[in-house]
Structure 1
Amino acid sequence: MTAKTFPKADWQIAPPSDVGIDPEKLNLAKTWLDSKFADDRYRIAIVRGGYLAAEWTHNIPSTEKHHIASANKSILSSMLGIAIEEGKIGSADDLAVDYYPELMDVPEGEGPKEGRWAFEANRGLTLRHLICNVSGYMKPGEAPGQVFNYQTNGMCVLSHCIEKAYGLYDINRPEESPKISPLYKEKIADVIGADWEYRSRSQQMHDKARLHIFGWGSEILTNLRALARLGWLWGNWGSWEGRSVIPESWLR
């Protein structure tokens, strides 16, 4: 097998057999995908040892940039680990309200939907609760750490905790605030040479919803090869060419 490497301007391409992958089994996998998802779109990059061994695209160009949707939550988790390593945040078990007290300022009738508002037990939710989707935020009757709910609002609040730790979010100026995107760019994308684009927007809810508190989020748009760099970073426990980008202890 060839020695491990990292991509420069672009990935080095290697035949699957050169990096220890059975090409026949790879072809079988591709044939199965095409038969099962003939009418869908997908893009898959298979990297081993830092070499691009396969690049599959179906009904979508490899270079076209797209919003990565909830895959962004894993990048947010990595950014939390970086913020802890840099001393901006004490630990994942710190109370979110200590970084973002505004999260409690959501009275009944001004949450995302009927029956959802910030209640007293939310003072006990931690950053770990938020990233693990077990915060119970704005769900009266759910204590932190007790129930799993896939919750975008909680991720927005976690983003604001990190943003405020770095001085990047003002609830009175949500649209103009830099938010978390500059951190993604500086701390991760630029280091690994990933071509990411960024945008921020609020969720669409009823007129009284306090979106400036829980509804603003940041998004990443990228293509297949650029996102594969992130996968290779994670595959190397947060290290890129000998530089620690994301703390290994956090990823493990």
Structure 2
Amino acid sequence: MQRSYWPTTEWQAVDPAILNIDAEKLAELDPIIKSTYSNINGMVVVRNGYIAHESYYHGYGPEDRHHIASVTKSILSALIGIAIDAGLIKNVDQKVLDFFPDYAPDSIDTQKREITIRHLLTMTAPYPFEDWHEPLDEMCMQSDWITYTLDMLGQKGKIGAFKYSTAGAHLLSAILTRSTGKSAREFANERLFTPIGMESIPDYEMKSFAFEDLFGKDVRGWVKDPNNNSTGGWGLTLTPRDMARFGLLYLNRGCWDNHQIIPEAWINESTIMNPNQYGYLWWLREEDGVFSYAAMGDGGNVICCIPEKNLVVAIASNFMLNPRDRWTLIKEHIIGAVI
């Protein structure tokens, strides 16, 4: 899409009516969020590249960063695509163990040798834990997160079955660092964040590993493990406006102000519908004829892209167990407001 304005330095907000959005319908968002989605701290709705709606709660504002939890995974997916395009990683079918020549797997552990970057991106690598019961706190207490995860990788189950793993995303961060010589944070600042006007992100070293340290509001910058790998599956803090910038970049097929930041082919691959409804670290959805893809994190942190409506919805939230599904809010009160 040709456009003369890009929100690299400043976002422009316009009257929703100009963007063919029903302003009265959008006005319903505020009381609904306050009454039913009380852990939302900030929301930015972008249509055609302009802010149509922006609201903040609990004393937060546009400059405040939030821990976006597993939304971090979708950022990491973009970085892997950029690294492949730059020739720093060969392709998604490269074997994971290629990047860890110093790791010696058990000789009978043949399945581990077959696992590729693609399996980590699509959450189709096997692990010994039960579905959705990954012992993340256990990994965080190790002195070497990578060896711990490589030991787990390939255990139980078969390659190809969907099993969501944050540790697997952390392996991707280590692969990125071994391929580029830079942490995911450094590589992101240089190749992704700065070019589209997102804030530069500092390092953050966790001092302990209690629940608040992992998911609390005191997390800053981008968390790193004891060996200086940026956390691959969580631990990044962004403002809602920067979340929206990232979503807009994807909506525009990786192009920003005539510069191809992420390869268009990578975005197509990352968001193609499949039986797992999960692409390259993006959740996929088709409902009522409307296709969307979303970066989703615990507590209800979301970057939702709806290409056919030219919409991006970025929501930053406080962590809470079992938050209300953001999709209902997006579908009924945002997509439903588009004329």
| Aligned mate of 1:142, from 153, 157, 167 | 157
CA–CA separation in structure 1 for the residues paired with 2:262 and 2:169: 19
Distance 1:57 1:102, change over 3 A: farther
Contact preservation (8 Å) 2:73, 2:169: yes
Query: Structure 1 stretches of 5 or more lacking a match?
Result: 108-117, 169-178, 206-210
Offset of 1:48 from its aligned partner? Answer: 1.1
Aligned equivalents of 2:59 and 2:159: distance in 1?
41
The correspondence for 2:239, drawn from 211, 223, 227, is 223
Deviations 1:211-234 (A, max 9, x none): 768x86264222111221111111
Give the ranges of 4+ consecutive aligned residues of structure 1 lying more than 3 Å apart after TM superposition.
101-105, 200-205
Q: In structure 1, the residue corresponding to 2:5 is in which secondary structure?
A: coil
Change beyond 3 A, Cα 1:104–1:247: farther
* CA distance in 1 between partners of 2:6 and 2:262 (Å): 16
Q: What pairs with 1:80-119 in structure 2 (closer than 5 Å)?
A: 80-102=80-102, 119=109
Query: 1:200: how far off?
Result: 5.0
Gaps in structure 2 of 5+ consecutive residues: 128-151, 211-224, 269-339
Q: Secondary structure at the match of 1:73?
A: helix
Displacement of 1:32 after TM fit? 2.5
Q: CA deviation at 1:143?
A: 2.4
2:168 aligns with 154
Provide the secondary structure at the position in 2 that maps to 1:135: coil
Aligned twin of 1:189: 193
Aligned to 1:36: 36
What's the counterpart of residue 124 of structure 1? 114
| Larger Rg, first or second structure (1 or 2) | 1
- 1:54-102 deviations in Å (ceiling 9; x for gaps): 1022224122112221101001101111111111111111111112335
Q: Tell me if 1:49 matches 2:65.
A: no
Instruction: Decide whether the 8 Å contact of 2:41 with 2:60 is kept in 1.
Output: no
CA shift at 1:128, angstroms? 0.9
Q: Is residue 250 of structure 1 aligned with residue 254 of structure 2?
A: no
AA of the residue aligned to 1:230: F
Give the counterpart letter for 1:244 in structure 2.
Answer: Q
Give the conservation status (yes or no) of the 8 Å contact 2:44–2:244: yes
Shift of 1:50: 1.4
TM-score after normalising by structure 2: 0.59
Give the corresponding residue for 1:166: 180
Calculate the aligned-residue CA RMSD, in Å.
Answer: 2.7
1-structure distance, mates of 2:30, 2:40: 13
1:65–1:222 contact (8 Å) kept in structure 2: yes
Aligned 8 A contact 2:184 2:230 in 1: no
What TM-score, normalized by structure 1, do the two folds share?
A: 0.78
Point out which structure has higher relative CO (alpha carbons under 8 A, 6+ apart).
2
Is the 2:80–2:176 Cα contact (8 Å) retained in structure 1? yes
Q: Is the 8 A contact 1:104 1:122 kept in 2?
A: no
